[in-house]
Structure 1
Amino acid sequence: MAGIALLAVTAAYLSVGARGDWGFVLGFRGTKLVALLTVATAIALSTVAFQTLSGNGILTPSVMGFDALYLLIQTGLVFTLSGLGFATLDPFVKFAAETAVMTGAAMLLFGALLKDARDLARMVLTGLILGIMFRSLTALLARMIDPSEYAIAQSASYASFNVVEPALTWVAAAMTLAVGGWLLARHRRLDVISLGRDKSLSLGLDYDREARRLLAAIALLVSVSTALVGPVVFFGLLAAAIARQVAGTYRHAVLLPVSALIASTLLVGSQTLFERILGLQTSVAVVIEALGGLTFLYLIFRRSVR
């Protein structure tokens, strides 16, 4: 059912409002569609995998300071290179640097989870403190640069699905496909990891080694999606929550592809509605994030009531 819905919104995105040469239309919209599918898949898979590893259904890797780190990187580049240097920076170099920095930071941050799988409060608190520190450094740099140059950094600091570098889209898609295939191939181990560290060890699984590999995959997926379009905090939580309800199982052989399909359907469908039907030239990320934030609050209140 999720696959049929994705095909429907994909057809609508490619065809609604199309005029002129279909070869040009499909080529232009097709690249943008690949970017949407890549970001949605990367965010959904990383969220499901992170929730499995942490044993908590209301956590996402993006709420652990990724957005603040991304903002700091953008502002730091403008501060160091100036607005002109930032605008002329090679997109591949920028993409590679951002991915490398955020992946390394994620491994250092989430590595705390490996020391004590039950100490989630410390991990969350560490992420929040680092996020505050990154935002403070960003504010400091913002006061030290020219206002016009800060506007350049600010425009690059919000998730935007309207303007995506075509060449980077295919690189990100290949990386997401490779990591997603790796996760799906290890779905049985993910099922065991979801039982917790003690039960995983009792079943003969090398939990620490598998956790390190899983953390690397999560960090890479989040870093790629963030470097491609910008920070998206709550979208993964929204997609994962819906996927768990639709799938009706915790088996990752089903949960992983279903979450990717639902996330892709939500993102492509929302972009089609805003861009093709309503004619609003704005980013759909605002609405997606609002729905994800409401989902986050709902999950918290539901657990507190229980």
Structure 2
Amino acid sequence: MHAKRLVALALILAVCCFAYMTMGAKGNWSFVLPFRGGKLIALILVGVSVSTAGVLFQTITQNRILTPSIIGFDALYVMLLTGAVFFLGGHGYVQLPLIGLFLVNVGLLVGASLILFGSLLFQTTHDLMRLILTGIIFGTLFRSLTSFMQRMIDPNEYFVIQVASYARFTWVDTDLLLIASALTVLALAACWRMRFRLDVLALGHDAAINLGENPKRGQVQALILVAILVSVSKALVGPVAFLGLVVVSIAHLVTPGPYHSVLLPSSALIAAITLVGGQTILERVLRLSTPLSVVIDALGGLLFLALLLKGLRK
């Protein structure tokens, strides 16, 4: 059953990709195909990265309501971005090599996530409300520091932060596609190798130890992969708060079951369909009347509240 559904999702994604590449295309195909192809690859990379990071994070936190964005990764990314512009200046930040800046952002996000969220996960794995509240506190702290630095910088430099801190699906920095693709493929390969260990980690701390798995080592490895995948998506299109929650929740409905060998590809395909299909409709049919990130965050916010209230009633 799961194999048939995965094939169906793959076919739907293929149709969405074909529509994105061909709908409304006029003029020279030698220009249209590379131009749209770069954005298509970026959308798929972002979808796969966000969905995989969401699955891994929900596994190590052992609940289906938390994602890296909800717990504060987006606020951390914007704070690091603001700090770079604050200390280097807008001109200095823009002049930095894109690949070097991308790698520095990945390194900082990995280190900060391990320091801030690693100890949190190890100590409060079974306390959902404490995880959410601590994530909100971290997010509030990061946003406060970000706001403080933004008020002290030049308004022209603030524009640099504003452009990079909001999700943008109509414009993608294709210069980062090669390094982003390489990091994504390596992270996905590592996730796929961990798929059976992730099944064990999802059973809980005590069960994992009884089955011969080191929970802390697995959580650290998963958290590093989460930070890398989140960095890739943020560098390409910016933060999208609820995309991971939406696609992973749909994946649990479409392909129910505890096995990550099914959940990982299912959520990745659904995320890619959401971004490519949604962008095709908004860009080609509705003529960008509404940004895709606004639709995703609106639906994701409602879903988050519904899941939270459902969990509190149990």
Q: Could you give the per-residue CA deviations for residues 66-105 of structure 1, whole angstroms, max 9, x where no partner exists? A: 2222222232233223332233332112211211111111
- Could you say if the C-alpha distance between residues 282 and 91 of structure 1 is closer, same or farther in structure 2, counting changes exceeding 3 Å? farther
Distance 2:115 2:83 in 1: 21
TM-score between the two structures when normalised by the length of structure 1: 0.94
| Equivalent residue for 1:288, pick from 279, 287, 296 | 296
Distance 1:107 1:135 in 2: 19
Is residue 81 from structure 1 mapped to residue 81 from structure 2 by the alignment?
no
Contact 2:150 2:158 in 1 (8 A): yes
SS in 1 for 2:64: coil
Report the counterpart of residue 239 of structure 2 in structure 1: 231
Which moves more between the two structures, 136-145 or 125-134?
125-134
Amino acid of the structure 2 residue aligned with 1:111: G
Q: Tell me how far 1:119 sits from its aligned partner.
A: 4.3
Contact 1:271 1:284 in 2 (8 A): yes
Is residue 91 from structure 1 mapped to residue 98 from structure 2 by the alignment?
yes
Matched length: 306
The equivalences for 1:101-140 within 5 A come to 101-112=108-119, 113-115=121-123, 117-140=125-148
TM-score between the two structures when normalised by the length of structure 2: 0.92
Distance 1:169 1:129 in 2: 34
The equivalences for 1:1-306 within 5 A come to 1-112=8-119, 113-115=121-123, 117-280=125-288, 283-306=291-314
| Aligned-CA RMSD value | 1.7
SS in 1 for 2:66: coil
Q: Tell me how far 1:242 sits from its aligned partner.
A: 0.1
SS in 2 for 1:56: coil
Q: Tell me how far 1:163 sits from its aligned partner.
A: 2.0
Contact 2:168 2:293 in 1 (8 A): yes
Distance 2:259 2:311 in 1: 22
What fraction of aligned residue pairs are identical, expressed as a percent?
A: 46
Amino acid of the structure 1 residue aligned with 2:65: I
SS in 2 for 1:111: helix
Amino acid of the structure 2 residue aligned with 1:225: S
Contact 2:55 2:248 in 1 (8 A): yes
Report the counterpart of residue 5 of structure 2 in structure 1: none
Distance 1:33 1:133 in 2: 35
Structure 1 residues without counterparts, runs of 5 or longer: none
